[in-house]
Chain A
Amino acid sequence: DTGVSQNPRHKITKRGQNVTFRCDPISEHNRLYWYRQTLGQGPEFLTYFQNEAQLEKSRLLSDRFSAERPKGSFSTLEIQRTEQGDSAMYLCASSFAGGIYNEQFFGPGTRLTVL
């Protein structure tokens, strides 16, 4: 499968715990994005990387959130001291910087439930 992959697909955690998600983009894509989607809403932008550089962060990305893309390939999103309001689907997408339309291809998402 050459699409975007995300792991784990589901994560249940208790409030206050730390969680980490992983995203593997399409291999030739140098841009990687994180979005969050809550029930009944469209995805909301969190942050994006071009290669290993994090170039934009949304104000939705509080101090408890950190994202990395250390070698310009896979990325991780960590949430520290989780809160019930963090329960959502976390989506990763990738694109090719030379593309005309900024076509972003999404992975299946990681569904987080904070109890």
Chain B
Amino acid sequence: QKEVEQDPGPLSVPEGAIVSLNCTYSNSAFQYFMWYRQYSRKGPELLMYTYSSGNKEDGRFTAQVDKSSKYISLFIRDSQPSDSATYLCAMSGQGAQKLVFGQGTRLTINP
């Protein structure tokens, strides 16, 4: 079993919809949680980061962490065609340097 599980999709929604992306994990030592966006044949771009449990909002993006359930989410409001990309969750433990990534969810926003 992988440490981080993420539904690979693909996920296709109409423009303006609210998108929910999720990851589950098994390692209770993870403390730092991140979401990256990756366009085709490009490097991952850091979108959001959170520490421990709670919510964080940045414009149309909201990240949630529920450590008791080992479950993290990214919500995208008022989705735009430019949001079409692969979304990767990543996490690391206290003092650890390597990031452990999910498989990535491929998202398409249809105009």
A40 to B10, alpha carbons, bound, how many Å?
A: 11
Chain B interface residue count: which class? 20 to 34
Nearest chain A CB to B41's CB is how many angstroms away? 7
Interface majority SS on B: helix, strand, loop or mixed? Answer: strand
Decide yes or no whether B25 CB sits under 8 A from chain A: no
**B42 contacts chain A at the CB level, 8 A cutoff:** yes
Known contacts A40-B8, A91-B44, A103-B34: A33-B49 contact under CB 8 Å: no
Contact with A along B78-100 (1 / 0, CB 8 A): 00000000001010100001111
* CB < 8 Å neighbour of A106 from B4, B32, B44, B100: B44
- Expressed in whole angstroms, the Cα–Cα distance for A102 and B96 within the complex equals 9
A41→B86 CA distance, assembly (Å): 10
Alpha-carbon distance between A41 and B45 when the two chains are bound, in angstroms: 16
Interface mask (A67-110 → B, CB under 8 Å = 1, otherwise 0) = 00000000000000000000000010000000011111111110
Residues in A lying within 8 Å of B, measured CB to CB: 4, 6, 31, 33, 35, 40-45, 48, 55-56, 58, 91, 100-109, 111
Query: Which residues of B are in contact with A by a Cβ distance under 8 Å?
Result: 4, 6, 8, 32, 34, 36, 41-46, 49, 51, 88, 90, 92, 97-104
